[in-house]
Amino acid sequence: MTDWTPFTARARTWFEHLRDAICAEFEAIEREVGSEATFEYTSWKREALEGEAGETGGGTRGVMKGKAFEKVGVNVSTVGGGFAKDFAASVHGASAENNAFTATGISLVAHMANPHVPAVHMNTRFLTTTKAWFGGGADLNPPIPYDEDTAEFHAAFKAACDLGAPGSYDRYKAWADEYFYIPHRGVHRGVGGIFYDHRECADEAQWEANFAFTKAVGEAFLAVFPRIVRRRLGMAWSPADKARQLEWRGRYAEFNLVYDRGTLFGLKTGGNIDAILMSLPPEATWS
């Protein structure tokens, strides 16, 4: 059986590198609009669940509130331990009898001040149970959609798929459309992107291939989203535009609290509550 420990360490190093690059770019955008806002970082330790010997791992929560980014959070965590028995059976490769896991990943959500600038979500991760796999993706969430932005966002992730997982784009796009859907509202929460999970690593060669693809996804995000932000950042907006954004944010909050598997995973594995819920918007309305 493969010892995935050094591979987890390599994945963690990449996720931390990606975080640093993204945060630097977002801070540069703030400077361009005359803001001195920077990310504030808070470290946390994983809380041991009942029956575990002690805490294992933790993470760093980065949050910035500025003129362009009304609220953006970038989390990196590396944790391990044992799933709660009633939750283990729902996780790929785990069971009540064999509930050990490790997980490392990056998670990002940005809520923008200008309603014309889309919000966005991105995360990539590497997990081990009795299996080892990568998962992740990104999706664009504009209160006021623009076809140009949607096309460019999808083109960037299609290129990442063509490079690292040829032939997978249509499947991962459809997976995102299915996943990022709010059944009780009958609407998608945005204009989609890609979503993938359980890209299993049977051996080192397969891990390297899946890791390369996961890095391509992160690099695609870093390349495309700042361009879209800069394109829309200077657009004038009306009170009606802001009202539309706030109502849309309510839908976003509903999805993350009711349907999002990442939220549930964090809550069920002793994650940091503030980091888990950093995806919620700073302000929202419900009619």
pLDDT digits (tens, 9 = 90+) for 70-129: 999 999 999 988 877 777 777 887 777 788 889 999 999 999 999 999 999 999 999 999
The answer to whether 149 touches 228, Cβ cutoff 8 Å, is yes
Query: Minimum mean pLDDT among 90-99, 139-148, 277-286: which range?
Result: 90-99
Percent of the chain with pLDDT over 90: 78
Exposure string (b/e) for 222-235, b if CB count within 10 Å is 16 or more? bebbeebbeebbee
The stretch 44-73 carries a mean pLDDT of 83
Q: What average pLDDT does the segment 147-156 reach?
A: 98
Q: How far is CA 123 from CA 76, 85, 212, in A?
A: 10, 26, 15
pLDDT at residue 51, as a whole number: 58
Domains within the chain, CATH numbers bracketed? 5-279 (3.40.1500.10)
Kindly state the helix (H) or strand (E) to which residue 21 belongs, with its residue range: helix 5-32
d(CA 222, CA 19): 10
The residues with which 135 forms a beta bridge, in sequence order, are 125
Residue 48: band (very low, low, confident or very high) from pLDDT cuts 50, 70, 90 = low
For the cut 60, the answer to whether the pLDDT of residue 271 exceeds it is yes
CA 240 vs CA 113, 245, 247: distances in Å: 14, 9, 11
What is the per-residue pLDDT for 198?
A: 93
What are the residues whose beta carbons fall under 8 Å from the beta carbon of 282, sequence distance 6 or more? 65, 70, 71, 111
- C-alpha to C-alpha distance for 57 and 44, rounded to whole angstroms: 9
Mean pLDDT of the region 136-155: 98
Lowest mean pLDDT, pick from 108-112, 216-220, 276-280 = 276-280
Q: DSSP 3-state assignment of 158?
A: helix
Strands (E), 28-158: 40-45, 57-64, 69-82, 100-112, 119-128, 132-141
What residue type is assigned to position 208 of the chain? E
pLDDT score of 280: 93
Q: Which residues pair with 75 in a beta bridge?
A: 61, 107
State the residue for tokens 């991105």. Answer: 122
Better pLDDT: 82 or 185 = 185
- The C-alpha atoms of residue 33 and residue 102 are separated, in whole angstroms, by 40
**Does residue 141 have a pLDDT over 90?**
yes
Q: Rounded to a whole number, what is the largest CA-CA distance in the chain?
A: 59
For 109, list phi and psi in degrees, rounded to 5. Answer: -140, 130
With tokens 């096309």, the residue in question is 151
Q: Could you please report the per-residue DSSP string of 184-230?
A: TTTEESSSEEEEEEEEE-SSHHHHHHHHHHHHHHHHHHHHHHHHHHH
* Annotation marks residue 121 as catalytic: yes
Q: Which of 5-14, 144-153, 253-262 has the lowest mean pLDDT?
A: 253-262
Per-residue pLDDT, averaged over 234-239, amounts to: 98
| Average per-residue pLDDT for the chain | 92
Q: Which residues pair with 196 in a beta bridge?
A: 136
Supply the pLDDT for residue 30. 98
**Cβ pair 105, 126 in contact under 8 A:** yes
Q: How confident is the model at residue 177 (pLDDT cuts 50, 70, 90)?
A: very high
More confident residue, 125 or 44: 125
- The share of the chain scoring above pLDDT 70, in percent, equals 97
Q: How many Å from the N-terminal Cα to the C-terminal Cα in the chain?
A: 54
Q: Which single residue is written with the structure tokens 């499947």?
A: 171
**Residues 242-271: what's their mean pLDDT?**
88
Question: Residue 46 pLDDT > 90, yes or no?
Answer: no
Q: In this predicted structure, what is the pLDDT of residue 136?
A: 97
Single out the catalytic residue among 121, 154, 184, 188. 121
